[in-house]
């Protein structure tokens, strides 16, 4: 299909792939480890890249390819590389594009596992990282070194929903010859398209909103064909691959992504407004609120505020745990992007493995709670939280 002529909600349903010889209407699930060839010559040509086609499911599978093409169409990217998880996508990006002696400038407001990947594994192979403010563009400029090769941020950030100015940071990266990678997990391409704002690479944990129902794990890296070539090469060789079944689930998830993101966002805004009125809530973090420090920027580069609300309760960890433990309906889990509302205590879960100093620098207090707002009636979510508040 001529993808550039269709709207996002149409691409989410129609883009990517074509029916097989059986002319199926719903995308086919190809459960096979390998593929056969018509001749030894054809096999040879496929293995060296002279002829396109499927070879081995570690790096070629028709269902995975359909998912990659659909997500690439939504993000406006030339190519998508699907991975086994969101963290595998970050690993593949670093291993494909960086080498010993390179330097990363990263937002200090990152998911805890991302920080640990940079600090414990990239560092082991000679790649150093400097952490800066997610919102102060001057800090990104000041952190640049002659060997800086990659800028990395997530916006909105996890869990405080800080908003980074993608276009401004992209300009800094371009001026020093570095690439900008943006984790777009919280927004998805429905709410934000980082490549349109100057980013070079987009990363997803498809596990979250792209699936949307907490069923399977997956990730994706997107960008130009030139940049994706070494990322795909790492995947082909080492195998942090998306399974065909998971890709099929994600294809179905993409079909309803626009509807779900609109609903998540509407519910989250209503819940954030309610939380601001609660006497035991010290502060609410939600980009759709005028009280959010980057509200204007969020409304400029996102279509809505998204589905994640964080709030700080008075009384620290004990009060936060009391709120969480008194819920009866909400799911106490660190996942997000689900039709079911989830609730977690970041300081002791998603960011527990980073140092207390790093948590403090990122603004993650012991009283902070993160809610991944689902699709239940908002009044029921409010009533569930009210028990502990």
For the stretch 121-156, pLDDT in tens is: 999 999 999 999 999 999 999 999 999 999 999 999
Overall number of domains in the chain: 2
pLDDT band at 13, cuts 50/70/90?
very high
Cβ-based neighbours of 57, under 8 Å, separated by 6 or more: 32, 33, 34, 35, 241, 244
Q: pLDDT digit string (tens) for 327-376?
A: 999 999 999 999 999 999 999 998 888 788 888 888 899 999 999 999 99
Asked whether residue 222 falls in the same domain as residue 264, the answer is no
Residue range of the domain that includes 307? 258-386
Asked whether residue 327 falls in the same domain as residue 238, the answer is no
Mean pLDDT along residues 12-29: 85
| Contact yes or no for 217/188 (Cβ under 8 A) | no
Q: Which of 222, 255, 288 is the last residue of a domain?
A: 255
Q: Which of 224, 255, 286 is the last residue of a domain?
A: 255
Asked whether residue 226 falls in the same domain as residue 322, the answer is no
The whole-number pLDDT of residue 112 equals 87
Asked whether residue 116 falls in the same domain as residue 240, the answer is yes
| Contact yes or no for 117/263 (Cβ under 8 A) | no
Asked whether residue 191 falls in the same domain as residue 340, the answer is no
| Contact yes or no for 154/110 (Cβ under 8 A) | yes
What is the rounded distance in angstroms from the CA atom of residue 151 to the CA atom of residue 167?
A: 13
**What's the CATH code of the domain at 326?**
3.90.1150.10
**What's the CATH code of the domain at 62?**
3.40.640.10
DSSP-derived secondary structure letter, 118: I
What is the Rg, in whole angstroms, of the alpha carbon atoms belonging to the chain?
21
Asked whether residue 94 falls in the same domain as residue 207, the answer is yes
Q: pLDDT digit string (tens) for 182-196?
A: 999 999 999 999 999
Q: pLDDT digit string (tens) for 59-109?
A: 999 999 999 999 999 999 999 999 999 999 999 999 999 999 999 999 999
Cα–Cα nearest to 107, from 189, 58, 172, 177: 172
Asked whether residue 97 falls in the same domain as residue 220, the answer is yes
Asked whether residue 55 falls in the same domain as residue 108, the answer is yes
The whole-number pLDDT of residue 81 equals 98
Asked whether residue 195 falls in the same domain as residue 265, the answer is no
């Amino acid at each position: 299909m001529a993808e550039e002529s269709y709207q996002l909600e149409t691409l989410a349903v129609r883009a990517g792939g074509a029916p097989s010889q059986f002319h199926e209407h719903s995308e086919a699930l190809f459960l096979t480890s390998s593929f056969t060839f018509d001749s030894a010559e054809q096999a040879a040509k496929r293995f060296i890249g002279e002829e396109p086609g499927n070879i081995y499911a570690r790096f070629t599978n028709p269902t995975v390819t359909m998912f990659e093409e659909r997500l690439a169409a939504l993000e406006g990217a030339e190519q998508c590389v699907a991975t086994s998880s969101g963290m595998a996508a970050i690993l593949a990006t670093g291993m494909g594009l960086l080498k010993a002696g390179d330097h990363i400038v990263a937002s200090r407001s990152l998911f805890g596992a991302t920080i640990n990947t940079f600090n414990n594994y990239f560092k082991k192979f000679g790649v150093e990282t400097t952490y800066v403010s997610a919102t102060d563009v001057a800090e990104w400029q000041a952190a640049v070194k002659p060997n800086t090769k990659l800028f990395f941020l997530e916006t909105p950030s996890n869990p405080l929903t800080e908003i980074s100015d993608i276009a401004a940071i992209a300009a800094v990266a371009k001026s020093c010859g570095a690439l900008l990678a943006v984790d777009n997990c919280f927004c998805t391409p429905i709410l934000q398209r980082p490549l349109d704002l100057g980013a070079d690479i987009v990363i997803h944990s498809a596990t979250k909103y792209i699936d949307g129902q907490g069923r399977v794990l997956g990730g994706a890296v997107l960008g130009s064909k030139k940049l994706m070539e070494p990322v795909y090469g790492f995947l082909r060789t080492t195998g942090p691959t998306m399974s065909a079944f998971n890709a099929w689930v994600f294809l179905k998830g993409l079909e309803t992504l626009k509807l779900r993101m609109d609903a998540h966002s509407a519910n989250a805004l209503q819940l954030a407004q309610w939380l601001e009125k609660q006497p035991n809530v010290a502060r609410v973090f939600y980009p759709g609120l005028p009280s959010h420090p980057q509200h204007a920027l969020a409304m400029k580069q996102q279509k809505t505020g998204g589905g994640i609300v964080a709030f700080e309760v008075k009384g620290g960890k004990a009060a936060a745990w009391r709120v969480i433990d008194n819920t009866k309906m909400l799911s106490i889990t660190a996942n997000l992007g689900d039709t079911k509302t989830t609730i977690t205590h970041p300081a002791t879960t998603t960011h527990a493995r980073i140092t207390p100093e790093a948590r403090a620098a990122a603004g993650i207090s012991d009283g902070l709670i993160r809610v991944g707002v689902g699709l239940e009636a908002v009044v029921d979510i409010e009533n569930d939280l009210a028990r502990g508040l």
